[in-house]
């Protein structure tokens, strides 16, 4: 299955959650399935398998991953020992593109991925243009000096810095356009409303 290229808000409305992470998501105003008669549609009760599949698709959509990429992350999480579901979320949460988004440098994970791919991000002084790069505890991530002087970046960060949720595992310094991971986040610190155990059960079938 390839990457979803349709309306992101359509998927959000289908599951009734703002998976895109946008404050402007239509779900916040009209929590109904997509389509002209969405509000009048009867929602079919999902089977047990359907519920597990939905959780997996939601997590894939949140982080913008292909099915093959997601499966590789799951297999790696299973090899780590401990709770596979938590390991999976930890691997996804500490991806460079996701942390650039969490730090407040971009309005979405997709936009953060573009920042990384276009060479605007440095980790410990070295340019990294791989969105899936795993950020380790103590590493400093920042915008390149040339990039941080762009009016568009400055305006975006200034406008949104007071709206960012506090994340105990992340230390931000928006004045210098940098952040670092204080510690690996525990499950309660990962702001993803997913029942990861259902995904583990799905892949265990």
CATH number at residue 123: 3.10.290.10
Look at residue 2 in the predicted model and tell me its pLDDT: 47
Six-digit token pair at 192?
Answer: 């993803």
Please tell me whether residues 169 and 101 are part of one structural domain: yes
Q: Is the pLDDT of residue 98 over 60?
A: yes
Please tell me whether residues 103 and 176 are part of one structural domain: yes
- pTM value surpassing 0.85: no
Please tell me whether residues 49 and 112 are part of one structural domain: no
Whether residue 55 lies inside any domain: the answer is: yes
Structural contact between residues 74 and 203, judged by C-beta atoms closer than 8 angstroms: yes
Beta bridge partners of 172: 179
Structural contact between residues 170 and 129, judged by C-beta atoms closer than 8 angstroms: no
Please tell me whether residues 70 and 141 are part of one structural domain: no
Please tell me whether residues 49 and 124 are part of one structural domain: no
Provide mean pLDDT across the span 85-89: 98
Please tell me whether residues 139 and 172 are part of one structural domain: yes
Domain total for the chain?
2
Please tell me whether residues 101 and 81 are part of one structural domain: no
Q: Is the pLDDT of residue 154 over 70?
A: yes
User: How far is 84 from 183, CA to CA, in rounded Å?
Assistant: 19
Please tell me whether residues 133 and 80 are part of one structural domain: no
> With pLDDT > 90 as the criterion, what percentage of the chain qualifies?
68
Whether residue 202 lies inside any domain: the answer is: no
Residue 161: count other Cβ atoms within 10 Å of its Cβ.
Answer: 12
Look at residue 61 in the predicted model and tell me its pLDDT: 92
Interstrand relation of 140-143 and 178-181 (parallel, antiparallel or unpaired): antiparallel
* CATH number of the domain enclosing 73: 1.10.1050.10
Residue 104: domain span: 95-183
User: How far is 173 from 31, CA to CA, in rounded Å?
Assistant: 36
Please tell me whether residues 100 and 151 are part of one structural domain: yes
State the DSSP H helix or E strand holding residue 180, giving kind and residue range, or none if neither.
strand 178-181
**114-135: pLDDT as tens digits:** 999 999 999 999 999 999 999 9
> With pLDDT > 70 as the criterion, what percentage of the chain qualifies?
79
**Could you report how far apart the first and last alpha carbons of the chain are, in Å?**
19
Look at residue 89 in the predicted model and tell me its pLDDT: 98
Whether residue 29 lies inside any domain: the answer is: yes
Is the model more confident about 11 or about 180? Answer: 180
Please tell me whether residues 37 and 84 are part of one structural domain: yes
User: How far is 50 from 189, CA to CA, in rounded Å?
Assistant: 27
Distances (CA, A) of 159 to 53, 99, 108, 117, 164: 37, 19, 15, 24, 10
Q: Is the pLDDT of residue 155 over 50?
A: yes
**53-76: pLDDT as tens digits:** 999 999 999 999 999 999 999 999
What pLDDT band is residue 104 in, cutting at 50, 70 and 90? very high
Look at residue 1 in the predicted model and tell me its pLDDT: 38
State the DSSP H helix or E strand holding residue 172, giving kind and residue range, or none if neither.
strand 170-173
Whether residue 193 lies inside any domain: the answer is: no
Give the lowest-confidence range in 11-15, 157-161, 162-166.
11-15
The residue out of 47, 75, 90 marking a domain boundary is: 90
Look at residue 8 in the predicted model and tell me its pLDDT: 60
């Amino acid at each position: 299955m390839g990457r979803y290229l349709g309306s992101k808000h359509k998927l959000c409305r289908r599951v009734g959650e703002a998976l895109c992470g946008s404050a402007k998501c239509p779900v916040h105003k009209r929590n109904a399935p997509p389509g002209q008669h969405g509000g009048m549609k009867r929602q079919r009760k999902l089977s047990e398998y359907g519920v597990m599949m939905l959780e997996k698709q939601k997590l894939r959509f949140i982080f913008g991953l292909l099915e093959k990429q997601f499966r590789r992350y799951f297999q790696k999480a299973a090899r780590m020992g401990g709770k596979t579901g938590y390991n999976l979320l930890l691997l996804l949460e500490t991806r460079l593109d996701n942390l650039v988004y969490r730090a407040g440098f971009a309005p979405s994970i997709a936009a953060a991925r573009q920042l990384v791919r276009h060479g605007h991000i440095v980790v410990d002084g070295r340019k990294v243009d791989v969105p899936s790069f795993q950020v380790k505890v103590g590493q400093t991530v920042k915008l390149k000096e040339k990039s941080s002087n762009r009016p568009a970046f400055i305006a975006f960060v200034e406008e949104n810095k007071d709206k960012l949720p506090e994340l105990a595992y992340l230390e931000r310094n928006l004045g210098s356009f940098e952040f670092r991971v204080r510690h690996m986040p525990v499950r309660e610190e990962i702001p993803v409303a997913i029942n990861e155990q259902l995904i583990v059960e799905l892949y265990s079938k």
